Amino acid sequence: MTQPLTKPFRAFRPGLLIGLISYLVVGAAIAQPVDQPSAQLSESRPAKIILGWIEPVQVNWLPHPIEAKIDSGADHSSLHATEIQFHDKGQTTWVRFRSVDHQILDYPLLRSATIKRKDATVEKRPVVKMQICIDHQWQTVAVNLVNRSHFRYPMLIGRSALTDGFLIDPNRTHLTQPQCAPQQP
């Protein structure tokens, strides 16, 4: 006589069925739909600004917006700069550089950043603070200066500039327009 390949059917257990139904009912009662935040959360948090992976931003010293790549994989922001020179003004070191639209700019040096590149080399870059407008918000952003002429976009905005109030939709571009009141350089 051959043995069956599967275990024989066990008797119906009502306690197991009641437990399963209770688990499903309680789970459904406390679950929140992903796309509909609760009223408490939406009242306590301001709405997030959704950015695409490319957005126009206004830099306080430019008369027009520039295209910036929004990169959540980058820790910090960078701006196209050439002819970078250091000089002292009193007790402070300043950085003079040529940037977008060939403008020559002068900013106090915030610090030097050590950047690890894809090819495993390390590069030192000067870092300055500047004002940029994203959508309708002026942000003070630490920006490292580097020659970005081989990139399509003159500015890269990293995570540290997007800490509050922003979400990124990586499938879209140009979801905002800078709408900040003018600032003095």
Domain count, the chain: 1
Q: Which of 113, 104, 108 is nearest to 95 (CA)?
A: 108
pLDDT tens profile 14-70: 665 566 565 555 555 555 555 544 444 445 566 889 999 999 999 988 889 999 999
Asked if 86 contacts 169 with a C-beta cutoff of 8 angstroms, the reply is no
108 occurs within a structural domain:
yes
Please check whether residue 178 lies inside any domain of the structure.
no
3-class DSSP state of 135: coil
Does the global pTM surpass 0.75? no
77 within some domain: yes
Query: What range defines the domain where residue 90 resides?
Result: 49-169
Query: Could you give the C-alpha distances from 132 to 57, 161, 178, in angstroms and in order?
Result: 7, 10, 9
Residue 29 inside a domain? The answer is: no
Give me the mean pLDDT over the 114-140 stretch. Answer: 90
Residues in the chain: 185
Using a pLDDT cut of 70, give the percent of the chain over it.
Answer: 74
Placement of tokens 């820790």 in the chain: 75
CATH assignment at residue 63: 2.40.70.10
